[in-house]
């Protein structure tokens, strides 16, 4: 089955001398659902609609709105010649828009087909799809399956997987790349290769080692994982006058060793004190996902991390798809 998104192929395949097709391409279905998670998920048939040159009156505003790290928003920072806007905007190191040397970015925006096979518990997802689109298509097919990846739905699959991919289910199911079964890529000779054709060394390199450093990744075959009907999320915040020191100390020992279905992040921040005017204090925030209901969760935290003081009213039960979207 060929790709449905011809405009992107026309724009990018000129980099490739000759394309040899292999069987993995037949695993792709045609993704026809119209999912609009953000204004940036709408493909454009006209490249002029998404490209901004320095002569465009919107150039400066668009550049500022897409810069995630403000250290790159200075008069001394080199500015790009053009801006191509369909990316997800998740670049905190500035490498997509700051460079001392000329470079190009390969636009994978329209390579976003997703084919979910619940019977085999697998899916093929193209590199230009977003995590949100992947999660939604899995949820459409099954309410009891998911995939361990990030919590931001606008992050692109290709970039996320090539950097290993971590999320709230990593303690139970590992990183995203721990659940990648196969991949389709284009090598320097223009051949499209699957895992068998590329060999295990190259396959190992492209799943977590920075896919763009080796080849152009077109798609991944992933393994779906079971999720319960209900998961539980919570956020608990405590400051120094609320025994936060004991909580943080105990968290260090509990978080990596507790039930694998419980993932707890700890964020430490200086905040203005509510009890001492004009003074600063330390706030600890514990943000968590548990693969189970609140009663099961409380049985764990009451025993292992009572310093957190988690109560049932702090917990919210929801479906897995709600926890990631």
Structural domains for the chain: 6-33+109-226 (3.30.465.10), 44-107 (3.30.43.10), 231-319 (3.40.462.20)
- Tell me how far apart the alpha carbons of residues 313 and 234 are, in angstroms, rounded to a whole number: 9
Q: 96-110, 213-227, 284-298 — which is least confidently predicted?
A: 96-110
- For residue 1, pLDDT over 50 is answered with no
Tens digit of pLDDT for each residue in 179-204? 999 999 998 888 999 999 999 999 99
Tens digit of pLDDT for each residue in 253-311? 999 999 999 999 999 999 888 777 778 889 999 999 999 999 999 999 999 999 999 99
- Global pTM? 0.76
- Tell me how far apart the alpha carbons of residues 34 and 136 are, in angstroms, rounded to a whole number: 11
Q: 101-110, 171-180, 303-312 — which is least confidently predicted?
A: 101-110
Instruction: Determine how many CB atoms are found less than 10 A away from the CB of residue 79.
Output: 13
Task: Name the token pair of 203.
Answer: 């396959």
State residue 29's pLDDT score: 34
Instruction: Determine how many CB atoms are found less than 10 A away from the CB of residue 233.
Output: 18
Contacts of 183 (CB under 8 A, 6+ apart): 194, 195, 198, 203, 206, 207, 217, 218, 219, 220, 221
Q: Determine contact, residues 212/185, Cβ cutoff 8 Å.
A: no
Contacts of 78 (CB under 8 A, 6+ apart): 98, 99, 100
State residue 167's pLDDT score: 94
Q: Determine contact, residues 230/203, Cβ cutoff 8 Å.
A: no
Least Cα distance to 8 among 50, 44, 56 occurs for 44
């Amino acid at each position: 089955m060929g790709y449905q998104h011809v405009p992107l192929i026309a724009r990018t395949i000129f980099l490739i001398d000759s394309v040899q097709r292999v069987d993995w391409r037949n695993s792709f279905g045609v993704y026809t659902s119209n999912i609009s998670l953000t204004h940036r998920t709408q493909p454009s048939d006209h490249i002029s609609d998404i490209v901004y040159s320095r002569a465009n009156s919107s150039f400066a505003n668009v550049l500022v709105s897409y810069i995630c790290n403000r250290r790159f928003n200075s008069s001394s920072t080199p500015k790009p010649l053009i801006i191509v806007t369909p990316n997800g905007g998740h670049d905190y190191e500035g490498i997509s828009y700051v460079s001392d040397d000329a470079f190009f970015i390969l636009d994978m925006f329209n390579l976003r087909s997703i084919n979910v096979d619940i019977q085999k518990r697998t899916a093929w997802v193209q590199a230009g799809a977003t995590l949100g689109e992947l999660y939604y298509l899995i949820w459409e097919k099954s309410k009891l399956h998911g995939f361990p990846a990030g919590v931001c739905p606008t992050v692109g699959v290709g970039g996320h997987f090539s950097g290993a991919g971590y999320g709230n289910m990593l303690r139970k199911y590992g990183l995203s790349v721990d659940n990648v079964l196969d991949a389709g890529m284009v090598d320097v000779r223009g051949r499209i290769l699957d895992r068998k054709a590329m060999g295990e060394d190259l396959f190992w390199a492209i799943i977590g080692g920075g896919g763009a450093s080796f080849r152009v990744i077109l798609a991944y075959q992933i393994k779906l994982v079971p999720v319960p009907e209900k998961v539980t999320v919570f956020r608990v915040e405590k400051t120094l006058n609320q025994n936060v020191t004991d909580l943080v100390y105990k968290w260090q020992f509990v978080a990596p060793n507790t039930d694998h279905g419980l993932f707890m992040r700890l964020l430490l921040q200086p905040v203005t004190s509510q009890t001492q005017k004009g003074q600063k204090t330390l706030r600890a925030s514990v943000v968590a996902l548990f693969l189970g209901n609140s009663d099961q969760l409380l049985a764990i935290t009451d025993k292992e991390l009572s310093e957190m003081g988690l109560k049932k009213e702090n917990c919210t039960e929801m479906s897995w798809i709600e926890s990631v979207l």
